């Protein structure tokens, strides 16, 4: 059956079909979203709980632990970790990649409800949860600055106006606000005045709670009218609270202003943000899953003038960070790389054929195949990203192969004197099975990636299906459009009418064939030596794979850095701020830095800060983001009690089941025995600090946070009529920024916060002045029933899987790969000799690397098995697929040797290149073997004569297709603009593998064919199976 026949006979229908494919692809192209990498959804849910004033240990034991026990019953959780700091607990739940995040969220809410009775009664609200994607970086950060308004007022504007408006922009997901907190009325009590007037803290709290209410009051109605009842029960500003009457004392009114300083402030005074040199409130904008980043950012920017217009004139809305320019530049560079690849492929076809009309035929196959692929991408919900565009770049060198094979075969028949129409029918029919074998086996390689699971499938799904789609469209084009054009455009070869280029091309081809024939004859006479060289390449493959440096993914340059500032345990907010200022100024002075934004305090703790560093375009700074980090590590001054850790922001983040660390790499220790964990953690930290392979190690330096422990004499307290609930209640009122009442506004709700005046909370001795009301109404100082002791405590308590845990974040030293770093860690930990009850493991990128490293050999084996099965089915043979697969070791040697010699690293991108080589290199063997089998069956040639003839006849199409694939990858290798770090490893792997395999497979394939053919005949003889020729005769 000739599949091409109907299309050759109907040129108009064929042309319109090709035009329809391009139109469909063109429309789809405009509908594709844009993103830096494929959408990878890690099902992660974060649960947040707060209890102002509670210590980290209290939060861990009373909030984190009950919640973790409830969450532990939920199916599908892969990791569960928690981090408890002063007044805050954060529990992170990561689920299996196939888990429905909405169903998981319902179970999480049910678990929260079930733990209600186990949580502290003083919590103002139940824990809340949100679904996040930790692999998705913010697309934009805005800052609000003002020389007039206070930080709380800026935060209010951000919360009530900006975040609501921005959330309505199509494509915008969560909008987070940082750098301050909502406005609040702050009641700062004076202990001496309270003592003087005999006022208890609960008296003040009850006075305020009873004075500021917002309840329904009903209505009045007569036969004609209705009156709503309203009252002045809502107190909104600090001045409204000053005259509040606490009680009458000695005939005089005792008002709130007599015992407290009342001011309009913020809910949390331990929270501050900045943008460059100004104090600021930050809005961190995330996109919705699958949204077009470029279009979303464009729409946000279009809204900014209108948002600025509704803000007070003294408020400036600034663009602090924008991911779109780098993404746009990266994708533009990828698109230019694609165009260059297309031009190079067309050039090689023209040079080989030497005929413009003939070279135009395979040239047309390229745009039809590539543009048609956009339609498949749209149907599958893909995006235009680095990996999908790389797939199209590589497809450029592949889609032209099929057209070249068809064109070459038809041209050969025309040169033999057959009319173009008949030659098109005959030539297309002869290579139909060859094309099917090449493309189906190639598609099998890439589709096998979809069954490997884990991060590899999630990351490379779009790459694989995009490339497979381009190959399938190319197969359709080569069986329809290409033979039709050959039948009408190709002319019989007339001696003397050739162009100069055509004569040169034919002369070069004749010389290559003659030279190849001589060398091939020598090889066929020395088959054992050739076979031995093939076996040597297998061993060299294994050796190179062992010694080549390995990493997880190439380090991206997204134009953004993330800085983490850590203060020593126990540092106060006021001490931490000037340290942060030193780091901020030093970073801002670096010539590669465009702007710096960040915040200190908040849920991260008073001794922690985060910086978002925006770099200048790479064309201006000339060095990579990692080089900028290395420079800053040398220029940023050392600050006693503080340290700055910098990392290059990546489009792909790991460790979603754990709290954010200060690096891509982290090491976790966990144990059910807290004492054992505290004993061994410093030893592990010391061992890692000794490793030259690691740098920027961020670890807790002991239990350094100051703690005041109140030791209550319970017997004495009982005699005086005081219980522990009274003691903790009065401390909560005094020192925890307790929110005691709510102010309702038309746009938002605000809190009334009560605490003692901060100047009386600077020394533990002030605890002695706190008054406790006994059960009889008497007032006694705390010192009458208790004394305090100074001690050390953790400023953060972490759990991993319900067990206590500690984290060590680190970075790799320059020139050190992930493999080398993790191996060094394993050796160091082995020397430490951890006990069995202390578990140590990698986390983040190092953990993902270890998982993929173990599975890589099985991934490659799976691809080989898929190719063997497909080829075995197509050829109805157990032996011929082995001949075709024998071409692959040489490709592996070329790829790995190129990486090793040029100082590269074998990453997941390189692994992707190996998969591509598995699919491409075997094409050469298929072209040879398929023709050899035809010559044996139709011409009656013996195996030696048939394989020799096939090698010589297929030499030119093999060289053309291989050179087209190489030139298609050259733009990837030479790329130096944005995104080059992702493209270069792929180009290097492909070019190295193709060049080396091209040299070897032209000689090893015929030798292996002859050996295996002999084995096939013996095998068939033993089984009594007829040969192919005998079957043809019988039929």
Give tens-digit pLDDT for 195-242: 888 888 888 999 999 999 888 888 888 888 998 888 888 899 999 999
Helices (H), 311-385: 324-353, 356-379
Residue 411 C-alpha from the chain's centroid: 49
CATH number at residue 1005: 1.20.1640.10
**SS in 3 state form for 393-408?**
HHHHHHHHHHHHHHHH
| Share of residues in the chain with pLDDT > 70 (%) | 96
Q: Are residues 695 and 711 in the same domain?
A: no
Query: What element of type H or E holds 105?
Result: helix 101-114
Three-class SS of residue 609? strand
pLDDT higher at 172 or 968:
172
pLDDT for position 106: 92
Q: Which of 67, 78, 84 is nearest to 44 (CA)?
A: 78
Identify whether the C-beta of residue 800 lies closer than 8 Å to the C-beta of residue 63. no
DSSP annotation of 759: G
Contacts of 104 (CB under 8 A, 6+ apart): 43, 45, 74, 76, 93, 95
Please give the pLDDT value at position 678: 86
Q: Report residue 1026's pLDDT band, with 50, 70 and 90 as the boundaries.
A: very low
The domain boundary residue, chosen from 776, 793, 810? 793
Separation between Cα atoms, residue 134 and residue 80, nearest integer Å: 14
Residues 682, 570 share a domain: yes
Question: What CA–CA distance (Å, rounded) separates 370 from 387?
Answer: 15
The answer to whether residues 59 and 82 touch, using CB atoms and an 8 Å cutoff, is: no
Q: What is the mean pLDDT of residues 710-722?
A: 90
What pLDDT score was predicted for residue 258? 93
Helices and strands (H, E) in the chain, number of each type: 33, 31
Domain membership flag for residue 517: yes
Q: Name residues whose C-beta falls within 8 Å of residue 452's C-beta, 6 or more positions apart in sequence.
A: 855, 859, 862
* pTM for the whole structure: 0.79
> What CATH number corresponds to the domain at position 803?
3.30.70.1440
In a domain, 300, yes or no: no
User: 659, 652 in Cβ contact below 8 A?
Assistant: no
**What is the chain's length?**
1035
Categorise residue 80: left if φ over 0, alpha if ψ from -120 to 50, beta otherwise: beta
> Residue 858: inside a domain, yes or no?
no
Residue 1013 domain flag: yes
- Highest average pLDDT, of 408-417, 765-774, 899-908, 1009-1018, comes from 899-908
Q: Are strands 642-648 and 694-698 parallel, antiparallel or unpaired?
A: unpaired
Strand partners, 990: none
- Is 1012 contained in some domain? yes
Nearest to 932 by CA among 869, 884, 872: 884
Per-residue pLDDT tens for 793-833? 777 888 988 888 888 888 888 888 888 888 999 999 999 98
Q: What is the distance between the alpha carbons of residues 10 and 13, in angstroms, rounded to a whole number? A: 6
Rounded to whole angstroms, how far apart are CA atoms 143 and 278? Answer: 10
Q: Compute the Cα dihedral for 854, 856, 859, 860 and give only its sign.
A: negative
Count up the domains in the chain and report the number. 5
A 10 A CB-CB count for 215 gives: 6
User: Which residues lie closer than 8 Å to 294 by C-beta, 6 or more apart?
Assistant: 34, 324, 327, 328
Quick one: 896 and 1003 in the same domain?
yes
State which of 31-35, 458-462, 688-692 shows the largest mean pLDDT.
688-692
How far apart are the C-alpha atoms of 890 and 1008, rounded to whole Å? 13
Contact 921, 879 (CB under 8 A): no
Q: What is the DSSP letter of 311?
A: S
> Please, which residues bridge with residue 842 across strands?
667
Gap between the Cα atoms of 734 and 755, Å rounded? 5
Closest CA to 1010 of 535, 540, 526: 526
637 and 685 part of one domain? yes
Q: Shortest CA distance to 661 belongs to which of 690, 697, 612? A: 697
- Rounded mean pLDDT of 148-173? 91
Give yes or no: residues 90 and 198 share one domain: no
Per mean pLDDT, which range of 306-315, 468-477, 499-508, 592-601 is the poorest?
499-508
Q: Are residues 805 and 693 in the same domain?
A: yes
CA-based nearest residue to 385, from 136, 616, 27: 136
Per residue in 22-76, pLDDT (tens digit) is: 999 999 998 988 888 887 777 889 999 988 878 888 899 999 999 999 998 898 8
Task: Assess contact for 963 and 995: CB atoms under 8 A.
Answer: no
Q: Evaluate whether residue 366 is within a structural domain.
A: yes
Please indicate, yes or no, whether residues 713 and 695 belong to a single structural domain of this protein. no
Domain co-membership, 576 together with 666: yes
DSSP sequence for 623-685: S-HHHHHHHHHHHSPPBTTEEEEEEE--SS---TTS---SSSEEEEEEES-HHHHHHHHHHHH
- Say if 308 falls within a structural domain: no
Is pLDDT of 1035 > 60? no
Query: Which residues lie below 8 Å from residue 638, measured CB to CB, with a gap of 6+?
Result: none
What tens digit of pLDDT does each residue of 192-204 get?
Answer: 898 888 888 888 9
The pLDDT confidence band at residue 1033, using thresholds 50, 70 and 90, is very low
Nearest to 1008 by CA among 523, 368, 498: 523
Distance CA 563, CA 643 (A): 10
The residue behind tokens 């803290």 is 201
Give the residue numbers spanning the domain of 881.
509-547+877-1023
Asked if residue 400 and residue 477 are part of one domain, the reply reads: yes
Lowest mean pLDDT among 123-132, 246-255, 449-458, 611-620: 449-458
Find tokens 């002991």 and name the residue.
702
Give the separation between CA 142 and CA 156, rounded to whole angstroms.
15
- We report the CATH number of the domain holding residue 81 as 3.30.70.1430
Alpha helices in 384-499 (DSSP H): 386-415, 420-448, 454-489
CATH of the domain at 211: 3.30.2090.10
CB 568 within 8 A of CB 560: no
Token pair 């990392």 is found at 647
Same domain for 342 and 402?
A: yes
Whole-number Å distance between alpha carbons of 580 and 567: 9
State mean pLDDT over 433-442: 84
User: In angstroms, rounded to a whole number, what is the distance separating the alpha carbons of residues 868 and 441?
Assistant: 8
Asked if 789 and 805 sit in the same domain, the reply is no
**624-663 tens-digit pLDDT:** 888 999 999 999 998 888 889 898 888 777 654 445 467 7
Q: Are residues 106 and 252 in the same domain?
A: no
Q: Return d(Cα 401, Cα 435) in angstroms, integer.
A: 9
pLDDT in tens, 286-314: 888 778 888 899 999 999 999 999 999 99
SS (H, E, C) 677-731: HHHHHHHHHHHHHCCCCEEEEECCCCCCEEEEEEEECHHHHHHCCCCHHHHHHHH
Q: Rounded CA gap, 712 and 733, in Å? A: 18
d(CA 180, CA 419): 82
Is residue 158 included in any domain, yes or no?
no
pLDDT-derived band at 285 (thresholds 50, 70, 90) equals very high
* Contact between 201 and 730 (Cβ < 8 Å): yes
- CA count, 13 A, side-chain hemisphere, 412: 17
For 58-197, list the strands marked E by DSSP: 77-85, 88-95, 128-132, 140-146, 172-178, 183-189
């Amino acid at each position: 059956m000739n599949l091409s026949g109907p299309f050759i006979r109907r040129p108009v229908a064929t042309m319109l079909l090709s035009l329809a494919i391009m139109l469909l692809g063109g429309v789809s192209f405009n509908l594709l979203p844009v993103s830096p990498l494929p959408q990878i959804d890690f099902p992660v849910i974060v649960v947040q709980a707060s209890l102002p004033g509670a210590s980290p240990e209290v939060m861990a034991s009373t909030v984190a632990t009950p919640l973790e026990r409830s969450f532990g019953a939920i199916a599908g959780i892969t990791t569960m970790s928690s981090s408890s700091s002063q007044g805050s607990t954060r529990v992170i739940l990561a689920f299996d990649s196939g888990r429905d995040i909405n169903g998981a969220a319902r179970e999480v809410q049910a678990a929260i409800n079930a733990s209600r009775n186990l949580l502290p009664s003083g919590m103002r609200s139940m824990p809340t949860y949100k679904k996040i994607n930790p692999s998705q970086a913010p697309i934009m950060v805005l800052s609000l600055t003002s020389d007039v308004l206070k930080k709380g007022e800026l935060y209010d504007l951000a919360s009530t106006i900006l975040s609501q408006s921005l959330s309505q922009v199509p494509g915008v997901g969560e909008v987070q606000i940082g750098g301050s907190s909502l406005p609040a009325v702050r009641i700062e009590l004076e202990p001496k005045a309270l003592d003087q007037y005999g006022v208890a803290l609960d008296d003040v709290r009850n006075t305020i709670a009873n004075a500021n209410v917002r309840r329904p009051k009903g209505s009045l109605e007569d036969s004609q009218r209705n009156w709503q009842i309203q009252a002045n029960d809502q107190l909104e500003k600090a001045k409204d609270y000053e005259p509040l009457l606490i009680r009458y004392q000695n005939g005089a009114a005792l008002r709130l202003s007599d015992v407290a300083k009342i001011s309009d402030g913020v809910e949390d005074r331990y929270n501050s943000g900045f943008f460059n040199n100004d104090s600021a409130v930050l809005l961190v904008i995330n996109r919705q899953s699958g949204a077009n980043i470029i279009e979303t950012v464009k729409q946000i920017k279009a809204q900014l003038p209108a948002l600025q217009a509704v803000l007070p004139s003294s408020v400036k809305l600034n663009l602090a960070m924008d991911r779109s320019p780098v993404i746009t530049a990266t994708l533009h560079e990828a698109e230019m790389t694609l165009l260059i690849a297309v031009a190079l492929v067309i050039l090689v076809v023209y040079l080989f054929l030497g005929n413009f009309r003939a070279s135009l035929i395979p040239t047309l196959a390229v745009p039809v195949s590539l543009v048609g692929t956009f339609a498949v991408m749209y149907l599958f919900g893909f995006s235009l990203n680095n990996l999908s565009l790389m797939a199209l770049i590589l497809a450029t060198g592949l889609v032209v192969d099929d057209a070249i094979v068809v064109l070459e075969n038809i041209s050969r028949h025309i040169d033999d004197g057959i009319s173009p129409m008949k030659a098109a029918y005959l030539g297309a029919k002869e290579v139909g099975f060859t094309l099917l074998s090449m493309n189906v086996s190639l598609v099998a390689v890439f589709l096998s990636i979809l069954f490997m699971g884990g991060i590899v499938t999630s990351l490379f799904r779009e790459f694989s299906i995009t490339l497979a789609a381009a190959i399938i469209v190319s197969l359709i084009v080569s069986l329809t459009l290409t033979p039709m054009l050959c039948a009408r455009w190709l002319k019989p070869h007339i001696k003397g009418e050739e162009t100069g280029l055509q004569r040169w091309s034919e002369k070069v081809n004749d010389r290559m064939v003659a030279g190849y024939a001589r060398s091939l004859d020598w090889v066929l006479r020395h088959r054992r030596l050739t076979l031995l060289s093939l076996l040597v390449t297998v061993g060299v493959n294994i050796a190179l794979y062992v010694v080549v440096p390995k990493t997880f993914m190439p380090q991206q340059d997204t134009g953004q850095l993330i800085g983490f500032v850590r203060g020593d345990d126990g540092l106060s907010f006021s001490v931490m701020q000037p340290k942060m200022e030193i780091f901020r100024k030093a970073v801002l002075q670096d010539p590669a830095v465009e702007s710096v934004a960040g915040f200190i305090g908040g849920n991260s703790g008073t001794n922690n800060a985060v910086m978002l560093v925006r770099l200048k375009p790479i064309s201006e700074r000339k060095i990579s983001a990692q080089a900028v980090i290395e420079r800053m590590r040398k220029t940023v001054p050392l600050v006693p009690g503080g340290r700055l850790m910098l990392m290059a922001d990546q489009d792909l983040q790991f460790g979603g089941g754990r709290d954010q660390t200060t690096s891509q790499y982290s090491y976790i220790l966990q144990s059910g025995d807290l004492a054992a964990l505290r004993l061994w953690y410093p030893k592990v930290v010391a061992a890692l600090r000794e490793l030259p392979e690691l740098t920027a190690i961020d670890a807790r330096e002991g239990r350094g946070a100051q703690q005041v422990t109140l030791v209550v004499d319970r017997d004495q307290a009982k005699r005086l009529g005081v219980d522990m609930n009274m003691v903790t209640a009065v401390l909560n009122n005094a020192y925890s920024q307790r929110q005691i009442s709510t102010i309702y506004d038309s746009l938002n709700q605000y809190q009334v916060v009560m605490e003692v005046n901060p100047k009386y909370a600077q020394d533990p001795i002030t605890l002695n002045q706190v008054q406790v009301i006994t059960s009889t109404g008497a007032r006694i100082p705390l010192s009458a029933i208790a004394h305090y002791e100074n001690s050390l405590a953790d400023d953060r308590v972490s759990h991993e899987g319900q067990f206590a845990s500690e984290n060590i974040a680190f970075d790799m030293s320059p020139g050190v790969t992930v493999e080398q770093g993790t191996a060094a860690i394993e050796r160091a930990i082995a020397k430490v000799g951890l006990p069995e009850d202390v578990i140590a493991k990698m986390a983040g990128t190092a953990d993902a690397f270890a998982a993929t490293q173990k599975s890589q050999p099985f991934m490659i084996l799976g691809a080989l098995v898929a190719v063997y099965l497909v080829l075995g089915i197509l050829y109805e043979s157990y032996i011929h697929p082995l001949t075709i697969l024998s071409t692959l070791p040489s490709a592996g040697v070329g790829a790995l040797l190129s990486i090793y010699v040029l100082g590269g690293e074998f990453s997941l991108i390189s692994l992707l290149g190996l998969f591509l080589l598995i699919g491409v290199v075997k094409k050469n063997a298929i072209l040879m073997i398929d023709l050899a089998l035809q010559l044996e069956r139709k011409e009656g040639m013996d195996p030696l004569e048939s394989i020799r003839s096939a090698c010589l006849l297929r030499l030119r199409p093999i060289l053309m297709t291989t050179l087209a694939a190489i030139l298609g990858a050259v733009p990837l290798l030479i790329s130096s603009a944005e995104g080059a770090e992702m493209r270069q490893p792929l180009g290097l792997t492909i070019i190295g593998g193709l060049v080396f395999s091209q040299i070897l497979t032209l000689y090893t394939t015929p030798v292996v064919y002859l050996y295996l053919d002999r084995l096939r005949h013996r095998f068939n003889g033993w089984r009594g199976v007829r040969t192919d020729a005998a079957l043809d005769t019988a039929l």
